[in-house]
A = this chain, B = another copy of it.
């Protein structure tokens, strides 16, 4: 069941218009101009605030807007639902949409809990049997340099992978005066840096190594345990719980931060590799630095999202006197996704990964293929994150050191 009907373009709805809604909308607006996608129309934008939703729809190219997310379930002209709401809403929306026969793309992380993620993966499995497609939005799989990294590893250019060193460092919460948001409340966000950005690292490790994590040792830390209340809930994409919205006041009342600012873990992989990860949203000076280094017995790779067009590749098979990390500017037509864009050296940006994600998702819908990463992949990430939380909560993890 590739397409609901070959007679009309696919109808698409997006839920959310904040950061992720804006990014996904940009991708929907541009995917067809650069990639061969099935025909589709940007039908409907769903948001909590009617006026803002209407303005966003106008601005981002959606034909209509609504505040009723369940409209996407009942409207026959909606074939695809793209869910960009906060994580605590993912499960309900995604399961309902899949059960209603809609293809579903969900922003990462898949859910706030393993239980939710399991329910979603079940729904995806059921829906898949009926030809309904689902995908979780770990967009960095489709950064050309990281897709190239995956190819190099799959070709065996690194040999057996021994270790991965990864980090995702940001600093938007470095200032203790940065206000409370739904992302800092365990109820809405599930976790902090762990779910938000460590999830990307775990997915990348799965993706790059095509392996799975079997054991975890991890820690969490909250540096700034309370923050001034924010006035507006607008930052939630219009779908946040009322609990985080606050009336303006002076001085702002303080709200308790209930998630982690930073996390560390080592991960054992089934294939024998050991991966480390470190994430922080208070790493002053690092803006959006997802760093991954992969060390094999034949070669190595290094990547930093702040230089997202570059992949560093160390080829241990070349003569020693010429060895070194090669800075591959992944902007050649030979590199993944690039031939659709500009000539060599004309660098891409962060948002292009979403265009690739949408284009691939649409291609799978058209061709009856299972998109990747699947909800099952999203669940696998969730299980690792849960294990990190469990490890961090263990009492005996720290060995004391005498003064």
Interface residues of A, Cβ cutoff 8 Å to B: 19, 23, 25-26, 29-30, 32-33, 59-61, 148, 152, 162-163, 165, 167, 169-170, 172, 174, 176, 212-219, 221, 223, 262, 264, 266, 268, 274, 276, 278, 280, 282-289, 293, 295-300, 305-309, 313-316, 319-329, 331-332, 334-335, 341-352, 383-384, 387-388, 390-391, 394, 396-403
Contact = CB atoms under 8 A, between A and B. Distances in A.
Given A214-B400, A217-B217, A326-B325, A344 B287 contact: yes
Contacts of A397: 217, 391, 397
Contact of A324 (B162, B323, B326): B326
B347 A308 contact: yes
Contact of A401 (B214, B223, B347, B396): B214
A14 to B, nearest CB: 13
A276 B264 contact: yes
A321 B399 contact: no
A195 to B, nearest CB: 16
22 contacts: A29-B29, A30-B30, A165-B283, A217-B217, A217-B399, A264-B274, A276-B276, A282-B297, A285-B300, A285-B325, A288-B344, A305-B345, A305-B347, A306-B329, A321-B328, A324-B326, A342-B350, A346-B351, A348-B349, A387-B401, A388-B399, A396-B396
A344 B284 CA distance: 12
Given A148-B321, A347-B350, A387-B399, 8 more contacts: A26-B30, A163-B282, A214-B400, A219-B266, A264-B276, A284-B296, A284-B300, A384-B401
Nearest to A320: B334
Contacts of A218: 399
Contacts of A347: 288, 305-306, 308, 349-350
A33 B25 CA distance: 9
A323 B314 contact: no
A179 B117 CA distance: 49
A398 B217 contact: yes
A396 B394 contact: yes
Given A307-B307, A321-B334, A324-B328, A383 B402 contact: yes
9 smallest CB-CB distances across A and B, nearest first, come from A287-B345, A288-B345, A285-B314, A349-B349, A215-B398, A324-B328, A346-B350, A285-B300, A321-B334
Contacts of A296: 284
A345 B306 contact: yes
A174 B297 contact: yes
Contact of A352 (B286, B327, B349): B349
Contacts of A398: 215-217, 268, 391
A61 B264 CA distance: 46
Nearest to A352: B349
Residue with the highest number of chain B CB atoms closer than 10 Å, among A19, A26, A345:
A345
